[in-house]
Amino acid sequence: MSLLLVVAAALVDAQDRVLIAQRPPGKQLAGLWEFPGGKLDPGERPEEALVRELAEELGVIVDARDLTPLTFASHAYEAFHLLMPLYLCRRWSGEPQSREGQALAWARPGELDAAQMPPADAPLIAPLVALLG
């Protein structure tokens, strides 16, 4: 079993909406909506990796101190087992923009559709609904 650590963020705006990004065509799980984030580079700390990914994918600047652990996903994909901490972030600088061609959307957690998200993400919806409605 190979374990893959991916860090992800729920960016939450003033209306308690969460930012989701659509995986571009050609990638694994293309078309599904996920939380911004990604894999760690060698030697990187998880929070440092997430700050970097948010800058690369969305052009926003996040202070690692504004990343709060919320919950995590643990899911057996065929090729690897994904372990993905999900951090909550309510403060950043800049307006999130699509830097990698991905569509972006703000959604109330109660409107998130598990069927349109990667299978690992389905259990992440309930904690977000409990927190934000």
Ligand X SMILES: Nc1nc2c([nH]c(=O)n2[C@@H]2O[C@H](COP(=O)(O)OP(=O)(O)OP(=O)(O)O)[C@@H](O)[C@H]2O)c(=O)[nH]1
Query: Phi and psi at residue 31, in whole multiples of 5°?
Result: 90, -15
User: Is 69 annotated as contributing to ligand binding?
Assistant: no
Q: Which residue number is nearest to ligand X in terms of Cβ?
A: 38
CB of 48 to ligand X, least distance (A): 15
Cβ atoms < 10 Å from Cβ of 99: 14
Q: By C-beta, is 30 or 64 nearer to ligand X?
A: 30
Residue 89 C-alpha from the chain's centroid: 10
Q: Is 37 annotated as a binding residue?
A: yes
Considering beta carbons, is residue 47 or 121 the nearer one to ligand X? 121
| In the complex, least distance from residue 56 CB atom to ligand X, rounded to whole angstroms | 10
Dist. CA 125–CA 133, nearest whole Å = 10
74 φ, ψ (degrees, to nearest 5):
-135, 110
23 known member of a binding site: yes
Judged by CB, which is closer to ligand X: 35, or 66? 35
